[in-house]
């Protein structure tokens, strides 16, 4: 069979499995999740062996240390994986939930029921835990999944896939509810993202390069996450203590996450007061400050920022800083330079807080809180499959609900349209 035929066969099996899974009871889905978690714990040694083989092959192939690090699975990592699956079992089941019923003048009642999307294709890079995470979220939300992990993790992914299949079958559900693509041929991705008849949505989890390629080629709707160039704006009415604390947390708690602040905007009237202590804190933590001319005049160790710096997602101890004339310029700057992920204002002024919330066009907007809160767990979603910077369908952290849709339900008693 060629790649196209192989992928079409996978798609057909996923579609068939999705019909059964869409009507599975909560108990069946939770039994499958528990069986998967049990199997992962039971086969810990085998998973570590498969992962060790992946790591050895990747090292021999000259994979860079940071990637090797992400690829490596530890004993604790396997425990976390099993626990993650159990946590998804404990989440409320969104599927089949009805609500919003209203009587209409015609006498019918109209409401909605939450339903799965159908078949979800997930394309991800090295980390093997994504296989178990994504399988669990798709399963609980009633969606069949087709998973395509990085080729470096293929042995471990296949080992996890076998355990997922086992768990599904123990619970009486089709093993095809979760399929892991076995070939490492890149053409398989090309098929996956174009077979509209079998795949309802693509969720990419990976770097910018991967997502840009998928965006250019995909014929299936995507829940995409490009990058996180998040801003903190310190307003004229910012409380200096809150400002310092929030910038510290937003920039320095972790440098490599997409909800880390990459750019700081400060109102001109308070810049000379707010910037020195913040710059002192950042410098003490080894953060490089790239500022506008006014920033450089206030902060002696700042270096001049280029235009590109204001667009950059550094993912590193670097921050761009700009002095602005007020909230209008701050909002205009953010809507121009931001990646529409998460932005925060620090202010004690209510009308300005409300304007910021309304006018900043990003997936998450915050008042007096760190951008680091933009996360499915912090928002109470229980888990997240990604963070969407798109506006269609799902925006911001995507949990179980983001993997569902709603159909209309009409209840009558012989009603006809007049």
Interface positions with its own copies (CB under 8 A) = 19, 22-23, 96, 98, 102, 104, 106, 108, 110, 113, 115, 117-118, 200-201, 221, 239, 241-242, 245-246, 248-250, 253, 335, 344, 357-359, 361-370, 372-374, 378-380, 391-393, 395-397, 405-417
Task: Tell the smallest beta-carbon distance from residue 154 to its own copies (Å).
Answer: 30
The answer for residues whose C-beta is within 8 angstroms of residue 378's C-beta and 6 or more apart is none
* 8 A C-beta contact, residue 342 and residue 362: yes
Task: Tell the smallest beta-carbon distance from residue 385 to its own copies (Å).
Answer: 15
Radius of gyration of the chain (CA): 24
Task: Tell the smallest beta-carbon distance from residue 228 to its own copies (Å).
Answer: 14
Task: Tell the smallest beta-carbon distance from residue 97 to its own copies (Å).
Answer: 11
Task: Tell the smallest beta-carbon distance from residue 143 to its own copies (Å).
Answer: 11
- Whose Cβ is closer to its own copies: residue 59's or residue 254's? 254
> How many degrees, rounded to 5, is the angle at CA 341 between CA 337 and CA 346?
80
Task: Tell the smallest beta-carbon distance from residue 302 to its own copies (Å).
Answer: 24
Between CA 254 and CA 258 the distance in angstroms is: 10
112 forms beta bridges with 99, 408
Q: 339 is written with which tokens?
A: 């990646």
Residue 330: other Cβ atoms inside 10 A: 26
Three-class secondary structure of residue 146 per DSSP: strand
Phi and psi of 360, rounded to 5°?
A: -80, 125
- Whose Cβ is closer to its own copies: residue 152's or residue 343's? 343
* 8 A C-beta contact, residue 327 and residue 265: no
- Whose Cβ is closer to its own copies: residue 24's or residue 39's? 24
- Whose Cβ is closer to its own copies: residue 80's or residue 368's? 368
Between CA 126 and CA 72 the distance in angstroms is: 9
Between CA 2 and CA 176 the distance in angstroms is: 20
Matching residue, tokens 């991705």 = 189
- Whose Cβ is closer to its own copies: residue 79's or residue 361's? 361
- Whose Cβ is closer to its own copies: residue 62's or residue 105's? 105
- Whose Cβ is closer to its own copies: residue 284's or residue 416's? 416
Task: Tell the smallest beta-carbon distance from residue 316 to its own copies (Å).
Answer: 19
- Whose Cβ is closer to its own copies: residue 86's or residue 378's? 378
Task: Tell the smallest beta-carbon distance from residue 360 to its own copies (Å).
Answer: 9
Three-class secondary structure of residue 267 per DSSP: strand
Provide the angle, in degrees to the nearest 10, between the axes of the packed helices 327-337 and 350-359.
Answer: 20
Task: Tell the smallest beta-carbon distance from residue 414 to its own copies (Å).
Answer: 4
288 forms beta bridges with 318
Residue 356: other Cβ atoms inside 10 A: 24
- Whose Cβ is closer to its own copies: residue 308's or residue 413's? 413
- Whose Cβ is closer to its own copies: residue 63's or residue 403's? 403
Matching residue, tokens 């899974």 = 21
Residue 44: other Cβ atoms inside 10 A: 16
Task: Tell the smallest beta-carbon distance from residue 332 to its own copies (Å).
Answer: 9
Sequence length of the chain is 418
Between CA 15 and CA 145 the distance in angstroms is: 9
- Whose Cβ is closer to its own copies: residue 291's or residue 397's? 397
Residue 237: other Cβ atoms inside 10 A: 17
Residue 263: other Cβ atoms inside 10 A: 27
Between CA 298 and CA 290 the distance in angstroms is: 12
Task: Tell the smallest beta-carbon distance from residue 56 to its own copies (Å).
Answer: 37
């Amino acid at each position: 069979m060629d790649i196209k035929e192989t992928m079409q066969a996978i798609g057909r099996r996923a579609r068939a499995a999705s019909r059964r899974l869409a009507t599975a009871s909560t108990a069946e889905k939770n039994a499958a999740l528990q069986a998967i978690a049990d199997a992962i714990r039971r086969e810990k040694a085998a998973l570590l062996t498969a992962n060790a083989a992946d790591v050895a092959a990747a090292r021999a192939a000259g994979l860079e240390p940071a990637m090797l690090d992400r690829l490596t699975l530890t004993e604790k990592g396997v425990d976390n994986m099993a626990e993650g699956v159990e946590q998804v079992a404990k989440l409320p089941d969104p599927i089949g939930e009805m609500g919003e019923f209203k009587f209409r003048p015609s006498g019918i009642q109209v409401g909605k029921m939450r339903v799965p999307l159908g078949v979800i294709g997930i394309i991800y890079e090295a980390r093997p835990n994504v296989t178990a995470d994504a399988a669990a979220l798709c399963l609980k939300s009633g969606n069949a999944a087709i998973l395509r992990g990085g080729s470096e993790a293929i042995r471990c992914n296949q080992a996890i896939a076998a355990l997922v299949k086992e768990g599904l079958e123990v619970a009486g559900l089709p093993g095809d509810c979760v399929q892991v693509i076995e070939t490492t041929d890149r053409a398989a991705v090309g098929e996956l993202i174009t077979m509209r008849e079998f795949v309802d949505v693509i969720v990419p989890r990976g770097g910018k390069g991967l997502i840009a390629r998928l965006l250019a080629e995909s014929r299936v709707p995507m829940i995409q996450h490009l990058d996180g160039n998040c801003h903190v704006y310190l307003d004229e009415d910012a409380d200096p203590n809150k400002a310092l604390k929030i910038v510290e947390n937003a920039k320095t708690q972790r440098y490599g996450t997409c909800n880390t602040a990459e750019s700081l905007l400060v109102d001109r009237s308070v810049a000379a007061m707010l910037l020195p202590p913040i710059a002192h804190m950042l410098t003490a933590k080894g953060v490089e400050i790239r500022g506008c001319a006014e920033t450089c005049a206030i902060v002696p160790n700042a270096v001049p920022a280029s235009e590109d710096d204001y667009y950059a997602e550094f993912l590193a101890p670097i921050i761009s800083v700009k002095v602005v004339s007020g909230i209008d310029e701050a909002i205009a700057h953010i809507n121009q330079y931001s990646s529409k992920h998460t932005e925060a204002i620090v202010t004690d002024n209510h009308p300005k807080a409300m304007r910021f919330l309304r006018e900043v066009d990003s997936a998450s907007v915050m008042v007096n809180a760190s951008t680091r809160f933009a996360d499915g767990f912090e928002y109470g979603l229980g888990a997240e499959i990604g963070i969407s910077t798109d506006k269609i369908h799902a925006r911001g952290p995507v949990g179980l609900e983001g993997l569902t849709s709603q159909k209309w339900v009409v209840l009558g008693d012989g009603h006809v349209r007049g």
